[in-house]
Amino acid sequence: MRSVYTSLFYASLPWVLARLLWRSRANPAYRHRIAERFGFYSGPPRPVDIWIHAVSVGEAEAAFSLIAALRRHARASILVTTTTPTGSARVRKVLGDTVEHVFLPYDLPDGVGRFLGHFSPRAAVIMETEIWPNLFTACRKRGVPLLIANARLSDRSARRYAWIRGTLKRLLAGVDIAAQTEADARRFVTIGADPATVTVTGNLKFDTEPDASVTAGGAALKQSLFQQRPVWLAASTHRGEEKAVLEAFARLRSRHPELLLVIAPRHPERFEEVARLAVEAGHRVARQTQAGGSVAGTFDVFLLDTLGDLMRFYVASDIAFVGGSLVDIGGHNVVEPALAETAIVFGPFTRNFQQICDDLERKGAAVRVRDTGELAAAVDRLVADEGRRGDMVRQALAFVRRNRGAAERHWRLLARHLGDSFQAH
């Protein structure tokens, strides 16, 4: 099975490269550092103690709290790999040169071999849901202990993986799995994981905390750029969602003429498309890349067209619609707006954060909507009722705080593989 997979992957490389170049038309970063995607790295080999792989921004955000726990307990050199340029940019912005950072190569035996030979990690951590046959096999052959951290698996993915359960059972043999929930743990067992290697540790995203500078920056945005007007943020949106949000906003303007809409598309290559949609809808649009005193008060829609600023805008907003949930993407991180003390709204598609969203909705700490009409109605009620917003914010923040501790539980799981030499402080 792995031989067939590898052969097909090699055969598809021309299309893989063509897709990289295509995506680079909108985001030039996709054409940079291509050699790293095949396991070629500059400089001499540089062994590291712990390697953490975070595909993109969401996985990187979860990794940050784990890295903080590692630093509390051990003196270890850390390598962080990503797959997307946006993930790379986020790692560099938050961690700077305190960690090594490169792109992870494609899951091909030669590239994976070069990667592991160059960095020789003593332990490997894969964030959330990445199961790569050649990578996992190479780690096992080299004796590199492997942990799937913050592991989640939806019902849909579990059904799809069930077709190759025998292959997965071999790949996951000896791999520690730190599952977010009991349901995730059960699904990993159904696809072939040994129950003895699966532990429920909770969600690392509960352990994040907004930096004081981010909180202060959000408050300053609210005061200066938004001039204390009510702000509705549509965060991490995907194609199809911006149109629904703009339609809902048009309905709300007659009742709430002071309301401002901030749109933060999930992918930077869509910034221009979303700006065009807002202009075509008849709105005055300002952009973060053009922001300054000259735009204050002169816009209805603000486009967040930079990376790494979302948390600051959550803090500056009164209401947040969390995207990827009105279209069938699976939803994005709802813990961030809870920490920012922003009232939360999301759509029906939340499998990526299913239990968290269900719990927030059940506790009255968030509102779930099914379509444009319900979205407009929910935001209408929340703009009008400050008391209701306050209740939701308090409930959501309390919920997040009750569920902390995953980073320490992950550390205890990982420490079993690291040895006493890492228990430095």
- Report the catalytic residues: 59
CA distance 191 to 160: 9
CA distance 314 to 341: 8
Q: Which burial class, exposed, middle or buried, applies to 311 when counting CB atoms under 10 A from its CB (0-12, 13-18, 19+)?
A: buried
Give the helix/strand (H/E) hosting 75.
Answer: none
CA distance 64 to 8: 34
Alpha-carbon torsion (154, 155, 157, 158), positive or negative: positive
CA-based diameter of the chain, in Å? 65
- Contact between 378 and 367 (Cβ < 8 Å): yes
The CA angle 273-279-284, to the nearest 5 degrees, is: 130
- Other Cβ atoms less than 10 A from the Cβ of 12: the count is 12
Q: Which burial class, exposed, middle or buried, applies to 64 when counting CB atoms under 10 A from its CB (0-12, 13-18, 19+)?
A: buried
Map residue 199 onto helix, strand or coil: strand
**Please, what is the end-to-end C-alpha distance for the chain in angstroms?**
45
Map residue 262 onto helix, strand or coil: strand
CA distance 37 to 17: 10
Of the candidates 351, 424, 350, 366, the residue with the CA atom closest to the CA atom of residue 398: 366
